[in-house]
Structure 1
Amino acid sequence: MQSFSPDALIIGGGHNGLVCAYYLARAGMKVRILEARDVIGGAAVTEEFHPGFCNSTASYTVSLLQPKIIADMGLVERGYRVIERPKSNFLPLGDGQYLLLGGSLAATQQEIARFSESDAARLPEYYAMLETAATILRDLALEIPPNSGGGALAMLAGIKTARRFAGLSPLQQHEIIKLFTLSARELLDQWFESGPIKAAFGFDAIVGNYASPDTPGSAYVLLHHVFGEVNGKHGQWGHVIGGMGRITELMAEACREARIEICLDTPVDHVLVERGTAVGVRTARGEEIRASKIIANVGPKLLYDRLIDPADLPADFRRMMTGYQCGSGSFRMNLALRGLPDFTDLPGNGEHLKSGIIMAPSLDYMDRAYQDARRHGWSREPVVEMLIPSLVDDSLAPAGQHVASLFCQQFAPQLPDGRHWQEERGAAVASILAVVERHAPGFGELILGQMALSPFDLERKFGLIGGDIFHGRMSLDQLWAARPVIGAAGYKGPIQGLYMCGSGTHPGGGVTGAPGHNAANAILRERGFLGRWLG
């Protein structure tokens, strides 16, 4: 593609950057994306990690991608296809016990009734409570939050949000407030009596959350993971055929058709600021590129701590960003397997192997994992979720062999006592595989190759500060009109001409595309388009 002088430069070619670029280009702007790596997609990429074996390297499952974005970018027509999990989650519990959720409400109730008939009876009411809150999140996901000092538009956004909440019954308002403030254990204790059921639902509260299920506010993270959908079915999760990189490949195809210039191997070293206005960037090779709009698809911590001279930021803003919390406690592994694992509690090949296999049998287990990580730096008995996407996508591995995604918690962003992840990675991997081996004896003998990504590796490879998969903690002080901080919720910080479009903005982490969509809307409003190009 022939180079041009852009109207907008986007730092980072992750999915949100691609979405933002697409909407801006559709409105007539000339857009250039600068991606540090040699592949587009950020953390949503599919890569070969062992000869003949490919997998979603970091992000590994889909649900939160906005249907509007899928439609606007023509992803289905381009080849986007998602296979739903036949069951949602499989929890091996030990001693021949297990919990297998999903498929249908009746099937899940029947399964839960093996542990508690009372819990099975309450399940529809619990789901209805979550769906009420999730509906509000879905409605807010593609809206620009009210921003301190944002004028009339911010005021209207605040009024609109308040009306949504006021339209709920007092009981519904009560339940939603608890979702945003309670710990996951406190919330689940009010609904269920059985430990395995609490573990199954409580797991979502610690995914990408360096916290205990007893941490106040952890119930919201549980909610964040259930407001998505797959193929029109709310709360479903699934596997993208071709891996998560297929999403960003198709997005990049749409962008190139919109005449967006995508520059790979172009890391940005510095944002150029002149007289309080961002005017361009300087790349690691020393090239200066100028544009009227500079849009960061990197996390707020990376943007404001490493790419901008502190002297260009107001003191109050610097102070707020100093307190911005990053570090999701996550460790990712991709494994090449010669065959399928065999779980002691449910032997053989079945629908449970196509589910999210959660190796964390209780909330107490999850809490111990976190407390151990706080003391030691990483848990010696971590929380491990395994997916085997090759069971539904045979393009990922040779015939008869498989790939497994392991998403693991709790692993500190920085290790204590001066230790470094490069020294501790091997021991952490051993602790992860020991957990799997305990539930599926002989698992280690199946491994042909592996990729292990500690928090340090996630930061080095993808620019995720502290290895934070969400670009910042999903806590009440860093959500909605306070994400990333008060006064910067409208996808724009204190520097004129500089915007944010990544997961460090509303509505937060996951492969949603919503921050990219909303940032483009905010920029177009400033240009007088009033978002009509996004309608």
Structure 2
Amino acid sequence: MTALKAPHRPRPRPTPETRDIVVVGGGHNGLVCAAYLAKAGLKVTVLERRDVVGGAAVTEEFHPGFRNSVASYTVSLLNPKVIADLDLHAHGLEIVERRIGNFLPLEDGYLLAGEGLTRDQVSKFSSIDAERLAEYEARLEVVADTLRALVLETPPNLSEGSWLGALPELLKAANLGGRLGGMSMTARRDLLDLFSKSAGDWLDGWFESDPIKALFGFDSIVGNFASPYTPGSAYVLLHHLFGEVNGKKGTWGHAIGGMGAITQAMARCCEARGVEIRTGCAVSEVLVENGGAGRVVLESGETLSARAVVSNLNPKLLFGSLIDPDALPGDFKERIRHYKCGSGTFRMNVALDRLPSFTALPGEGDHLTAGIIMAPSLGHMEQAYADARRHGWSKEPIIEMLIPSTIDPTLAPDGQHVASLFCQHVAPELPGGRDWDDHRDEVAQVMIDTVDRWAPGFRDSVLGHQALTPKDLERTFGLVGGDIFHGALSLDQLFSARPVLGHADHRSPIKGLYQCGSGTHPGGGVTGAPGHNAAREILKDFGKRMG
């Protein structure tokens, strides 16, 4: 899918006030960046196209009386430093842990995963796998800890220029090398495997039973339109382990009030620090004048001036739709044109008159507070990907269902519930030139039927639903190709190469134009890390320090 363009570019109508910073896009990273910049004393305005800030992390009513996290839907990756620095808990944020981490229903049983549960559960299927589990988790955690420490750092920026000018980046690279050099040889080999191998190959090397491989392998295809046997998918698995909830590493949780509670707390922090937040303000162009960016044009025709412009948009959307292409270096423009986007995600929110009952584990219980993964094996996931490539969607898709109303009664009427369905795999663009708008409901019914096979009666409990195709995710939230990460987490689009080699430091080829979104290091998820890191680099250029 191509990035959306404004239908016209009205004549600029300037406003007299000059700000220090204009942030384009009021998603969570834009808000985080704005909060840090404002704390350092800069005058900041955030412009959001929609009528509510938060980007994909919003809570909205989707059926009368039922509210849910519309797009992003669960908490773990939100960085604890960002939570503390923005004092989000004082601004109303409350995060609770899942009572059980995951529930994997099977044709002949089930697997529950969580603190104190997983080993005994795995032993039902393989005593060998149960014995290996502790070593697997320990070795994976060593690698995750090493990379977790890099989340809030700007990668070495491999730009052109003299050796003297490159010295700071060389020193940064040397520091990184020193950290990696401190790892044991086993950990270094694991790191290489996790960056280069498929998740399937990695997991097949550890375990023999399908359920545990399916449980862990699911993370490798979340937001990743690929087979779990696609090289590089092991890194996507690892990426989902960076998080923590309330100080517990690798734990997943729920923000009371939904994901919008996170971004509303961020907005309150911004406002308390003097940030001007303007909603319903779509930007049609970032003007490049005398080689630099200092003005943005709104679709209304109004222009805003600033000393710098910070984009929270997908890089393809920014450079493909808002910047005069003649202002960009040719090779950079070509690299952005080939920047890979597309998650293979179909997102649903469902209003229920009762809780589902799974054949594998009937009735109510804490397993219904878990992430419920309906994909019993890596082979099932591989077939779903192959079907989506061929037909546009799988007839037996991969679905993770959360029922957040089991721990957050604010989302639904008494005795009723909301379910989030995070569905893989669907093609970002349908084969044969078909339009997603013509197939949305058809695919939504496939997803409901899939859940009904695991939990008979689910279909009858549905009061209403909202379905978002990749096309819907793009036009509503700016997720190009429906990509929840603002770009694939492949080796050529990570760390110093995110989004393009030579521009990993949040600075673009245009003076005064910065990027703070998930298209920069460390990538996607509701982390706040790109916003944090971008603010640090911007403040350096303004001669200020992070507070």
Q: If the length of structure 1 is used for normalisation, what is the TM-score?
A: 0.97
Unaligned runs of 5+ in 2: 1-14, 160-164
- Post-superposition offset of 1:375: 0.6
Name the aligned partner's letter for residue 536 of structure 2.
N
Q: Which residue of 1 aligns with 2:147?
A: 137
Q: Which residue of 2 aligns with 1:116?
A: 126
Name the aligned partner's letter for residue 405 of structure 2.
S
Q: In 2, distance between residues paired with 1:167 and 1:527?
A: 35
Name the aligned partner's letter for residue 148 of structure 2.
R
Q: Which residue of 2 aligns with 1:496?
A: 511
Q: In 1, distance between residues paired with 2:430 and 2:166?
A: 44
1:363 aligns with 2:368: no
1:434 aligns with 2:440: no
Q: Which residue of 2 aligns with 1:202?
A: 217
Name the aligned partner's letter for residue 331 of structure 2.
D
Q: Which residue of 1 aligns with 2:183?
A: 168
* Aligned partner (choices 503, 506, 530) of residue 521 of structure 2: 506
Deviations 1:107-151 (A, max 9, x none): 211110000111111111111111111112211010011111273
Deviations 1:375-413 (A, max 9, x none): 111112110000000000000000000000000111111
Name the aligned partner's letter for residue 523 of structure 1.
I
8 Å CA contact retained: 1:183, 1:213 = yes
- Post-superposition offset of 1:4: 5.0
Deviations 1:5-45 (A, max 9, x none): 31100000001000000110111110000000000111100
Q: Which residue of 2 aligns with 1:38?
A: 51
Q: If the length of structure 2 is used for normalisation, what is the TM-score?
A: 0.95
8 Å CA contact retained: 1:18, 1:255 = yes
Q: Which residue of 1 aligns with 2:297?
A: 282
8 Å CA contact retained: 2:17, 2:304 = no
* Aligned partner (choices 428, 438, 453) of residue 468 of structure 2: 453
1:155 aligns with 2:165: no
Name the aligned partner's letter for residue 161 of structure 1.
L
Q: In 2, distance between residues paired with 1:108 and 1:3?
A: 61
Q: In 2, distance between residues paired with 1:506 and 1:294?
A: 19
8 Å CA contact retained: 1:131, 1:227 = no
Q: Which residue of 1 aligns with 2:366?
A: 351
Q: Which residue of 2 aligns with 1:20?
A: 33
Q: In 1, distance between residues paired with 2:303 and 2:393?
A: 41
Q: Which residue of 2 aligns with 1:103?
A: 115
Q: Which residue of 1 aligns with 2:4?
A: none
CA-based RMSD: 1.2
- Post-superposition offset of 1:196: 0.9
Name the aligned partner's letter for residue 249 of structure 1.
Q
Q: Which residue of 2 aligns with 1:378?
A: 393
Q: In 2, distance between residues paired with 1:445 and 1:120?
A: 38
Change (3 A) 1:425 1:3: farther
8 Å CA contact retained: 1:86, 1:103 = no
Q: Which residue of 1 aligns with 2:105?
A: 92
Deviations 1:316-365 (A, max 9, x none): 10111121000011111000100000100100101110000000000000
Q: Which residue of 1 aligns with 2:271?
A: 256
Change (3 A) 1:3 1:380: farther
Q: In 2, distance between residues paired with 1:83 and 1:259?
A: 30
- Number of aligned residue pairs: 528
- Post-superposition offset of 1:103: 2.5
Any residues of structure 2 matched to 1:237-316 within 5 Å, and which? 237-316=252-331
- Post-superposition offset of 1:493: 1.5
Q: Which residue of 2 aligns with 1:56?
A: 69
Q: In 2, distance between residues paired with 1:227 and 1:513?
A: 13
Q: In 2, distance between residues paired with 1:278 and 1:5?
A: 13
1:233 aligns with 2:269: no
- Post-superposition offset of 1:3: 10
Q: Which residue of 2 aligns with 1:10?
A: 23
Q: In 2, distance between residues paired with 1:29 and 1:364?
A: 53
8 Å CA contact retained: 2:120, 2:130 = yes
Indicate the SS of the match to 1:334.
Answer: strand
Identity score, percent:
59
* Aligned partner (choices 76, 83, 86) of residue 70 of structure 1: 83
Q: Which residue of 2 aligns with 1:468?
A: 483
Q: In 1, distance between residues paired with 2:172 and 2:93?
A: 33
Indicate the SS of the match to 1:358.
Answer: strand
Indicate the SS of the match to 2:18.
Answer: coil
* Aligned partner (choices 180, 185, 196) of residue 181 of structure 1: 196
Indicate the SS of the match to 1:344.
Answer: coil
Unaligned runs of 5+ in 1: none
8 Å CA contact retained: 1:7, 1:291 = yes
* Aligned partner (choices 415, 429, 439) of residue 430 of structure 2: 415
